[in-house]
Amino acid sequence: MRHWLMKTEPSVFSLDDLRRKGREGWDGVRNYEARNSMRAMRVGDPVLIYHSNAEAIGVAGLAEISREAHPDATAWDPANAHFDPRSTPERPLWDQVEVAFVRAFPQLVSRDDLQRIPAFSASLLWKRSRLSVIPLTDAEFAAVLAVAEGDQRARPERAAAVRIRSSGQGSGRGPSPKRASR
């Protein structure tokens, strides 16, 4: 299973918006590398949702792929901001995937937090600052999730309690994600 990070501007579409809608077609991506990453996505792949260009920058929570790559119809809609005349229904150039909400983190894993995670230091997020769909290694994904769940940053006095609670079987995570069906 692969892991991903997808950027979104929360003023345009936030994790809260995704929570409300349940799922969303991730259209408007107009970069070949990002498109190719989306083509490699499989249903169930976990996706970190990253808020960019915002007051609070960082990973807000977790989503998952609920539908694999298929043509992005906004590309052949002249009224759409991401219109690209090179793409047609007969020969689609751009794809989208559908993303389903899983859960919001109790607290944003901020860009600063991310920069302090050793296992995240080589991430493409830093090397390819303009890329909006980024593959993550297992270790990168796990490290971000550990910080999000352990949440030992702002409240170190609570870290021990969190550790004790999560050492049982119940991990304290939220309800299981809405299942992505067909």
Question: Which residues bind to DNA, rule: CB under 7 A?
Answer: 7, 9, 31-33, 52-54, 57, 111, 128-132
Min dist. Cβ of residue 37 to DNA (A): 12
CB-CB neighbours of 100 under 10 Å: 22
Min dist. Cβ of residue 132 to DNA (A): 5
Min dist. Cβ of residue 98 to DNA (A): 20
Q: Which is nearer to DNA, 43 or 131 (CB)?
A: 131
Q: Which is nearer to DNA, 85 or 118 (CB)?
A: 85
Q: Which is nearer to DNA, 32 or 88 (CB)?
A: 32
Burial letters for 137-173: b for 16+ Cβ neighbours within 10 Å, e otherwise? eeebbebbbebbbebeeeeeeeeeebeeeeeeeeeee
Q: Which is nearer to DNA, 121 or 171 (CB)?
A: 121
Min dist. Cβ of residue 89 to DNA (A): 20
77, 83 Cβ separation under 8 angstroms: yes
Which residues contact residue 24 at a Cβ distance below 8 angstroms, ignoring those fewer than 6 apart? 13, 17, 18, 98, 99
CA torsion through residues 110, 113, 115, 121, sign = negative
Min dist. Cβ of residue 152 to DNA (A): 22
Give the Å distances, CA to CA, from 58 to 8, 23, 114, 175: 10, 20, 8, 23
Q: Which is nearer to DNA, 9 or 16 (CB)?
A: 9
